[in-house]
Structure 1
């Protein structure tokens, strides 16, 4: 049976103050994510339908606090909470938050492409 830990995750990516350690398992991406600063994806998600993440996520908040905004409500998760987020959300994460998250790899790739394209435009000076 495959397994991964924060220490054994084969892929480690730094996005400014955010560290993402991950592994892919049978169509799902398992992520250990740490936020060194407050984070939101309002800008990067604008290229997706409704300006919201279209990928479902399951996870557990190890430390800190995060808030998910939907069209008609919002949900707050804090350390010790397990969560499920269906498609159609915008995340806001407090500095110091750490989470374990499971997402379908193909759906996550669509969201991550939008984020990377946004970041490339920002670095290149294109609004």
Structure 2
């Protein structure tokens, strides 16, 4: 078994108040601890990916805040206390300061993080 805490998980993406910590926790899955300040729109950082959307699936829990998730078929808002699954093809926007914990396939999530870093840098 593998366990980790937010503090023990390395930062893989940081800037403008955004913080993503990610660590492989078994098999090919990773856990991520995310902080997105109100107004953070990941859409521009996802440009260049298929459909200009994140193609990595995520299963998670919204610890605090609210997120508007845009997809090719529309948008939906998620609130603190909700568990979720976001399939490939999404772009999040923080409606409030937000913290979430997500589980994602390591390879796909690392590819998205690398793309976002290149867009930011």
- Report the TM-score, using the length of structure 1 for normalisation: 0.85
Pairwise CA RMSD of aligned residues? 1.4
Indicate how the Cα distance of structure 1 residues 2 and 19 shifts in structure 2: closer, same or farther if over 3 A, else same: same
Q: State how far apart, in whole Å, the 2-side matches of 1:87 and 1:68 are.
A: 12
Consecutive unaligned residues in structure 1, runs of 5 or more? 121-127
Per-residue deviation, 1:118: 1.0
Corresponding position: 1:60 with 2:61: yes
Unaligned 5+ runs, structure 2 = none
Q: Which residue of 1 aligns with 2:118?
A: 117
**Offset of residue 116 of structure 1:** 1.4
Larger Rg: 1
Q: Hey, which bits of structure 1, 4+ residues long, moved more than 6 A?
A: none
Deviation at residue 40 of structure 1 after TM alignment: 1.1
SS at match of 2:72: coil
The question of 1:51 aligning with 2:52 is answered yes
Are residue 83 (structure 1) and residue 84 (structure 2) matched? yes
- The structure in which a higher percent of residues are strand is 2
Paired with 1:110 and 1:34, the residues of 2 have a C-alpha distance of: 19
In 2, distance between residues paired with 1:18 and 1:116?
12
CA contact (8 A) 2:67 2:96 kept: no
Once residues 80 and 35 of structure 2 are traced to their aligned partners in structure 1, the CA distance between those partners, rounded to angstroms, is: 13
Scaled by the length of structure 2, what TM-score is found?
0.89
